[in-house]
């Protein structure tokens, strides 16, 4: 297969590691990257790719097939649309856009210009999530009745300081920044969410943004979801604190999700399925049998970018399409709104 | 005052447990027991206590100080009031009554006849729960941020059959029967509930009654709590199975509650505290410390009866009186209502 020529826009917190990873992806050739900040040129020199200060110049000059968008959320739609108009396939970092209406405009532009969108919800490429999806959708748990998610940890003081003080303000908190990942995971594993409710609190940090939330979801298949979210408690019960997929954070080997079905339950990410092995001995007075799954750890980012290359050449349909990214955003924003209004929201 | 003289009304599953408990206790006199079903005479004889088929005959013939009432919910008010009129102190099994109006009338009857009314939320007498309450209220995990409660115990088919077919009907499900204990625990440990929301589902069993529930609570101090409850998934997670308090349930050493504070996290019933030892190394990139908490186990049913005797003798106050138990019932019924209407309930 001919290497796909890609460019990257935005060499910030996400873009810089993306550039490094893209250099390791066999299917693509990262030829250039752009950033409004000239300082980021150093990264491109290190990687031996061209640097542009102006992304428009980059997409006009280089003969690219696709771009990786790792710019601030409010620029996803305008830059994405400009790239689509040049016929470039789009990898858009999550969230797809800052609002549902902007997501719609981006999706429409992609359709009109016949380019495909892959939204960067990289957890869908985690082998743990892939396995959980296979177990749940494959019926190994019987009929899914519910799922519990805990995302509880302590963000350290510096997380909110200096240039990052926007994280104290509305929209900079754990619902839009962190929970969106949990929502996308749940949609991928359990199916569509059709109703949400949230109680939110900022009583610990007293910032304008929430620090804690208690959330209920109803899935279209009838299952219920319960989420506890907090960034102000000394806990490792979170995706980050249990999966080890973020090398910057400490983790041990607990569980952050538990899936419940009529025939079994699944502890995640320990990947242990519990069920009654003897049909004569089913019920709360009997022990459960526990079964493990052998897992192979793979780098989800490399898998994701390889997949993007196959999306560009039309070999695969995007695992997280624009519509999918839009829906994940819509559900997450609805949770935020429910927290504000105190009312459940049907989607 | 000599040894407290107690009688028992109702010798079903829980009544029998009370009978066995009272017959073992040296500091009281278990005078007599009654049940409409004569087959229980044998148990009474084995336990060395007199048996009556009519409770009215028992309370008029025997000189009693108090009665333990373990009859079906709708009989709590009529039987409780009759006993109160005879000047007998009451230990009513939970729930206090079938509905709030009956609870009010029973509280009134006890007040008018100057007898104590105590309610059998026995978990409040478990040393594990008492310690958890002391930890939370004593600020030992800082300010309370949130609570997660999981109850996933599989009810076997027989649970719903024959004379127990009412358990498949509205009111006979896990909210009224099982969840009420969780609500009372949360109220006892954390204080009042100010707002709640519930989603219920009966999709798995398709009975008229719910099988799965997701609940969000706001607590008076500003913390939030989640409850996920299902009686149709093999999980073996739930207070009954995890504490080993009632060995009818298969004892699995798991955690069913996690209490999250700003300075620490407590798992229950393993009673492990997690925290950051060094304030300069607090946050998601650092390891957590784990510390055990020593608890002396003691049978909660025995302690409950002992408290009842102390109340009768005037040396103790009831761990849970009628007004308190009415509040637990009120919250539980509100959860049922929220599930039906799809609306939050505010207290």
Nearest residue on chain B to A241, alpha-carbon basis: B284
Shortest Cα distance, chain A CAs vs residue B63, angstroms: 40
Q: How many Cβ atoms from other residues are within 10 Å of residue A108's Cβ? A: 13
Q: Which residue in B145, B152, B235 is closest to A204 by CB distance?
A: B145
Instruction: Note whether B260 contacts A230, CB cutoff 8 Å.
Output: yes
Q: In chain B, what percentage of residues exceed pLDDT 90?
A: 95
Calpha distance A214→A202 (Å, rounded): 12
Contacts of A285 in chain B (CB under 8 A): 156, 248-250
Contacts of B224 in chain A (CB under 8 A): 199-201, 212-214, 228
For residue A218, is pLDDT > 70? yes
Alpha-helix runs per DSSP H in B4-144: 13-24, 41-46, 55-61, 76-85, 100-112, 127-137
Contacts of A159 in chain B (CB under 8 A): 283
Nearest residue on chain A to B240, alpha-carbon basis: A284
According to the model, what pLDDT value does residue B170 have? 86
According to the model, what pLDDT value does residue A188 have? 98
Confirm whether A4-115 and A124-298+330-346 share one CATH topology.
no
Contacts of A274 in chain B (CB under 8 A): 234-236
Burial class of A117 by CB neighbour count within 10 A (0 to 12, 13 to 18, 19+): buried
Q: Give B319's contacts (C-beta < 8 A, 6+ positions apart).
A: B118, B121, B124, B125, B304, B307
Q: How many Cβ atoms from other residues are within 10 Å of residue A120's Cβ? A: 24
Please give the structure tokens belonging to residue A257. 């999700």
Helix/strand/coil for A266: strand
Instruction: Note whether A214 contacts B198, CB cutoff 8 Å.
Output: no
Contacts of B198 in chain A (CB under 8 A): 216
Calpha distance A161→A158 (Å, rounded): 5
Calpha distance B224→A335 (Å, rounded): 15
Taking phi over 0 as left and psi of -120 to 50 as alpha, with beta for the rest, A193 belongs to: beta
Please give the structure tokens belonging to residue A234. 């000394």
According to the model, what pLDDT value does residue A171 have? 80
- The model's confidence at residue A95, banded by pLDDT at 50, 70 and 90, is very high
Best of A145, A212, A253, A339 to substitute, by most chain B Cβ atoms within 10 angstroms, is A145
| Dihedral of the alpha carbons of B309, B311, B317, B323, in degrees to the nearest 10 | 110
Contacts of A280 in chain B (CB under 8 A): none
According to the model, what pLDDT value does residue B1 have? 62
Contacts of B158 in chain A (CB under 8 A): 283
The residues facing B230 across adjacent strands are: B152, B212
| CB-CB contact of A256 with A149 (8 Å) | yes
The ipTM value here is 0.94
Q: How many Cβ atoms from other residues are within 10 Å of residue B81's Cβ? A: 19
| CB-CB contact of B306 with B318 (8 Å) | no
Calpha distance B150→B161 (Å, rounded): 26
According to the model, what pLDDT value does residue A165 have? 87
Question: Over the stretch A298-327, which tens digit does the pLDDT of each residue have?
Answer: 999 999 999 999 999 999 999 999 999 999
Best of B13, B140, B143, B145 to substitute, by most chain A Cβ atoms within 10 angstroms, is B145
- Complete DSSP assignment for B280-338: GG-STTSPPEEEE-------HHHHHHHHHHHHHHTSS--SSBHHHHHHHHHHHHHHHHH
Domain boundaries, chain A: 4-115, 124-298+330-346
Instruction: Note whether A344 contacts B217, CB cutoff 8 Å.
Output: no
- The model's confidence at residue A77, banded by pLDDT at 50, 70 and 90, is very high
Shortest Cα distance, chain B CAs vs residue A130, angstroms: 22
Q: How many Cβ atoms from other residues are within 10 Å of residue A22's Cβ? A: 24
List the CATH code of the domain at A124-298+330-346. 3.30.360.10
For residue A174, is pLDDT > 70? yes
According to the model, what pLDDT value does residue A13 have? 87
Shortest Cα distance, chain A CAs vs residue B124, angstroms: 23
Pick from B240, B145, B41: which is nearest to A206 by CA?
B145
Q: Which residue in B155, B222, B286 is closest to A250 by CB distance?
A: B286
| CB-CB contact of A228 with A255 (8 Å) | no
Mean pLDDT score of chain A = 96
Residues of chain B scoring pLDDT < 70: 1
Instruction: Note whether B236 contacts A223, CB cutoff 8 Å.
Output: no
Instruction: Note whether A232 contacts B145, CB cutoff 8 Å.
Output: yes
Pick from A258, A21, A240: which is nearest to A136 by CA?
A258
Best of A147, A221, A228, A251 to substitute, by most chain B Cβ atoms within 10 angstroms, is A228
According to the model, what pLDDT value does residue A166 have? 87
Domains defined for chain B, CATH in brackets: 4-115 (3.40.50.720), 124-299+330-346 (3.30.360.10)
Shortest Cα distance, chain B CAs vs residue A317, angstroms: 33
According to the model, what pLDDT value does residue A1 have? 66
Contacts of A167 in chain B (CB under 8 A): none
The architecture that CATH gives domain A4-115 is 3-Layer(aba) Sandwich (3.40)
Buried b (16+ CB within 10 A) or exposed e, A142-176: bbbbbbbbbbbbbbbeeebeeeeeebbeeebbbbb
Shortest Cα distance, chain A CAs vs residue B201, angstroms: 7
- Complete DSSP assignment for A170-195: TTSSHIIIIIHHHHHHHHHHH--EEE
According to the model, what pLDDT value does residue A53 have? 97
**How confident is the model over A169-181, as a mean pLDDT?**
91
- The model's confidence at residue A2, banded by pLDDT at 50, 70 and 90, is confident
A-to-B residue pairs, Cβ atoms closer than 8 angstroms: 219
Phi and psi, residue A213, nearest 5°: -150, 150
């Amino acid at each position: 297969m001919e290497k796909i020529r890609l460019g990257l826009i935005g060499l910030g917190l996400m873009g810089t590691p993306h550039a490094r990873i893209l250099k390791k992806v066999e299917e693509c050739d990262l030829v250039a990257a752009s950033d409004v900040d000239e300082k980021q040129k150093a990264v491109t020199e290190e990687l031996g790719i061209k640097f542009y200060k102006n992304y428009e110049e980059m997409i006009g000059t280089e003969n690219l097939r696709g771009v990786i968008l790792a710019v601030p959320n409010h620029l996803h739609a305008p830059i994405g649309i400009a790239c689509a108009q040049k016929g470039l396939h789009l990898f858009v970092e999550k969230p797809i856009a800052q609002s549902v209406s902007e997501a719609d405009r981006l999706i429409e532009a992609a359709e009109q210009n016949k380019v495909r969108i892959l939204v960067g919800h990289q957890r869908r490429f985690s082998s743990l999530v892939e396995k959980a999806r296979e177990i749940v959708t494959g019926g190994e748990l019987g009929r899914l009745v519910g799922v519990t998610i805990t995302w509880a940890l302590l963000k350290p003081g510096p997380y909110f300081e200096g240039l990052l003080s926007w994280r104290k303000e509305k929209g900079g908190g754990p619902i839009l920044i962190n929970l969106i990942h949990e929502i996308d995971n749940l949609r991928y594993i359990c199916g569509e969410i059709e109703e949400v409710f949230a109680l939110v609190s900022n009583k610990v940090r007293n910032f304008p943004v929430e620090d804690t939330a208690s959330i209920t979801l109803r899935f279209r298949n009838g299952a219920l979801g319960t989420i506890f979210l907090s960034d102000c408690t000394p806990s490792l019960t979170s995706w980050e604190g249990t999966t080890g997929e973020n090398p910057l954070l400490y983790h041990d080997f607990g569980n952050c999700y538990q899936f419940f079905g009529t025939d079994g339950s699944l502890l995640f990410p320990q990947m242990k399925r519990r069920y009654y092995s003897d049909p004569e001995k089913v019920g709360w007075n009997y022990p459960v049998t526990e079964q493990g799954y052998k897992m192979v750890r793979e780098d989800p980012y490399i898998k994701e970018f390889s997949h993007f290359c196959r999306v560009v050449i039309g070999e695969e349909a995007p695992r997280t399409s624009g519509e999918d990214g839009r829906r994940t955003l819509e559900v997450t924003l609805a949770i935020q709104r429910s927290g504000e209004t105190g009312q459940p929201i049907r989607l | 005052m000599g040894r407290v003289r107690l009688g028992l009304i109702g010798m079903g599953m829980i009544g029998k447990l009370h009978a066995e408990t009272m017959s073992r206790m040296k500091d009281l006199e278990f005078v007599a027991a009654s049940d409409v079903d004569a087959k229980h005479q044998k148990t009474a004889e084995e336990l060395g206590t007199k048996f009556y088929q009519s409770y009215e005959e028992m309370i008029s013939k025997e000189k009693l100080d108090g009665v333990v009432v373990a009859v079906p919910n709708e009989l709590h008010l009529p039987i409780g009031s009759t006993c109160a009129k005879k000047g007998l102190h009451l230990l009513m099994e939970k729930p206090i009554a079938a509905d709030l109006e009956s609870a009010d009338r029973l509280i009134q009857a006890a007040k008018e006849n100057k007898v104590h009314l105590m309610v059998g939320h026995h978990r409040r007498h478990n040393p594990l729960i008492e310690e958890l309450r002391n930890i939370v209220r004593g600020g030992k995990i800082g300010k309370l941020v949130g609570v997660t409660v999981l109850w996933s115990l599989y009810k076997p088919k027989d649970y719903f059959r024959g004379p127990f077919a009412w358990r498949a009907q509205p009111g006979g499900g896990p909210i009224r029967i099982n969840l009420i204990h969780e609500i009372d625990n949360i109220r006892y440990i954390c204080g009042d509930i100010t707002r709640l929301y519930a989603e219920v589902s009966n999709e798995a069993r398709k009975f008229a009654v719910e099988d799965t529930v997701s609940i969000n609570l706001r607590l008076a101090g500003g913390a939030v709590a989640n409850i996920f409850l299902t009686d149709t998934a093999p999980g073996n997670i739930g207070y009954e199975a995890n504490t080993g308090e009632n060995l009818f349930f298969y004892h699995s050493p798991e955690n069913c509650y996690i209490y999250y504070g700003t300075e620490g996290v407590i798992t229950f019933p393993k009673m492990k505290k997690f925290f950051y030892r060094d304030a300069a190394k607090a946050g998601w990139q650092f390891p957590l410390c784990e510390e055990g908490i020593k608890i002396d186990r003691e049978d909660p049913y025995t302690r409950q009866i002992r408290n009842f005797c102390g109340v009768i003798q005037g040396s103790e106050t009831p761990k849970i009186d009628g007004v308190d138990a009415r509040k637990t019932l009120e919250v539980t019924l509100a959860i049922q209502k929220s599930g039906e209407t799809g609306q939050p309930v505010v207290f």
